[in-house]
């Protein structure tokens, strides 16, 4: 009897697993689009299906009350073994209460090294010290630098501003301890990808005027999330269904991180969450007229904001804070920022964030090095050095970032 029950259970689980897999694959081919400009489309299809499969199973477990969907997905993503390099010493430590992976070249140096504070991406719900290990390992080795990779607390378990606070806490701790790690106070770089780039930007703006801390030498922003206000720019219209960051996933992450009711989805996408005077105030920085025309050729139709939904505005007006949308920080803040390296990707939902921030920095006299990946998509850097799933674009991003840092 027990054997029969176990057989039925195993059969039911197998059927359910197969059903979930087929549903994810069919959904991917039905909804998501991979442009011809992206190389190795089958690799991207595999990565997209794996992402959605992990999130789908996570949703099932969340409904059963076992864990958050993102927690299960993160667990799966963290299963890959960590690469070792005989030339780099990796240490797990804490800056205060914040876990950090510290990467330091094994060979002693007669002079202080460059320091890099790195914040990983993942939409605030995914990503970890493990998923970005290979990236930090390469930065430490090729830049002959000390890299502090910050393991901030993630959503949906922890909401805004917990991530910001963890990143700032770790940054201050590192800047106060540079002598301990053999870092030159005049050569500290803050770096991040996706929402990690958001964290890097916010931290840079928040601590730059503190008299008790060294100044950052530069910031490196890789397809960074820089505003949470306008969702109708050209890149949102062109890339809303491209892996690995579709509009639906981005909005889910946004709601998890900022603790916003997902029922406002259509209101927010159509620009009805803010009153006309707010749109007019920030048009000087967010308006599509500030985006070069060549980035509108794949299709763009300006959408005038609809009448404001007052209830939505009351709930989400805090997004106008510069810690949520660092792209709209005041000129006296942005003008003091250090030299910046910006990497953008053509097939990225939030591509235009980078283009708009680049213009703001340049208009205010901040030196900017910009690299645009014509075949790039959001999240491509995470494929760096993972064998058959790597994309040439990920190596090019690493190369330009390393060259930028080495020249500082």
Catalogue the active-site residues.
194, 348, 378
Q: Distance (Å, rounded) from C-alpha 4 to C-alpha 191?
A: 56
Pairing, β 98-105 against β 145-150: antiparallel
DSSP structure class, residue 111: S
Which are the contacts of 337, defined by CB distance < 8 A and separation ≥ 6?
Answer: 204, 205, 208, 219, 361, 366
Structure tokens at 38: 């992206």
Is the bond preceding 156 in cis, omega lying within 30 degrees of 0?
Answer: yes
Structure tokens at 318: 């805090």
Which residues are paired to 104 by β-bridges? Answer: 89
What number of helices (H) and strands (E) belong to the chain? 15, 8
Whether the Cβ atoms of residue 367 and residue 181 lie closer than 8 Å to each other? no
In SS3 terms, 343-370 reads as EEEEECCCHHHHHHHHHHHHHCCCCEEE
Q: Distance (Å, rounded) from C-alpha 340 to C-alpha 348?
A: 20
Which are the contacts of 339, defined by CB distance < 8 A and separation ≥ 6?
Answer: 217, 218, 219, 366, 367, 368, 369, 408
Q: Distance (Å, rounded) from C-alpha 147 to C-alpha 144?
A: 9
Whether the Cβ atoms of residue 140 and residue 107 lie closer than 8 Å to each other? no
């Amino acid at each position: 009897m027990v054997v029969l029950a176990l057989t039925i259970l195993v059969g039911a689980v197998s059927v359910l697993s197969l059903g979930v897999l087929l549903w994810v694959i069919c959904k991917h081919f039905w909804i998501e689009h991979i442009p011809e400009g992206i190389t190795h489309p089958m690799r991207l299809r595999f990565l997209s299906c794996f992402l959605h499969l992990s999130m789908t199973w996570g949703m099932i477990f969340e409904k059963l009350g076992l864990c958050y969907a993102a927690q299960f997905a993160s667990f799966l993503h963290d299963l890959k073994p960590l690469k070792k390099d005989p030339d780099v010493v990796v240490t797990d430590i804490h800056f205060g209460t914040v876990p950090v992976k510290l990467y330091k070249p094994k060979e002693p140096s007669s002079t202080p090294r460059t320091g890099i504070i790195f914040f990983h991406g993942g939409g605030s719900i995914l990503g970890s010290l493990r998923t970005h290990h290979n990236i930090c390992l390469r930065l430490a080795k090729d830049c002959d630098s000390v890299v502090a990779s910050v393991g901030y607390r993630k959503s949906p378990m922890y909401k805004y501003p917990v991530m910001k606070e963890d990143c700032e806490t770790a940054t201050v701790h590192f800047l106060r301890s540079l002598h301990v790690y053999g870092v030159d106070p005049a050569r500290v770089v803050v770096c991040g990808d996706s929402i990690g780039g958001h964290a890097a930007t916010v931290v840079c703006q928040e601590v730059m005027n503190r008299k008790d801390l060294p100044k950052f030498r530069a910031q490196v922003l890789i397809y960074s999330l820089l505003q949470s206000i306008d969702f109708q720019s050209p890149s949102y219209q062109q890339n809303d269904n491209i892996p690995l960051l579709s509009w639906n996933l981005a909005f889910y992450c946004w709601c998890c991180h900022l603790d916003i009711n997902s029922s406002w989805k259509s209101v927010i996408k159509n620009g009805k969450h803010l009153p006309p005077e707010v749109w007019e105030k920030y048009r000087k920085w967010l308006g599509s007229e500030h985006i070069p025309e060549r980035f509108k050729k794949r299709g763009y139709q300006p959408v005038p904001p609809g009448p404001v939904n007052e209830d939505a505005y009351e709930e989400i007006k805090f997004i106008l804070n510069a810690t949520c949308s660092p792209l709209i920080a005041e000129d006296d803040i942005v003008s003091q920022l250090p030299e910046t390296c910006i990497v953008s990707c053509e097939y990225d939902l939030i591509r235009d964030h980078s283009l708009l921030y680049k213009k703001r920095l340049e208009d205010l006299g901040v030196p900017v090095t910009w690299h645009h990946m014509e075949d790039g998509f959001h999240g491509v850097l995470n494929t760096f050095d993972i064998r058959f799933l790597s994309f040439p674009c990920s190596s090019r991003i690493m190369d330009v970032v390393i060259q930028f840092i080495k020249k500082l």
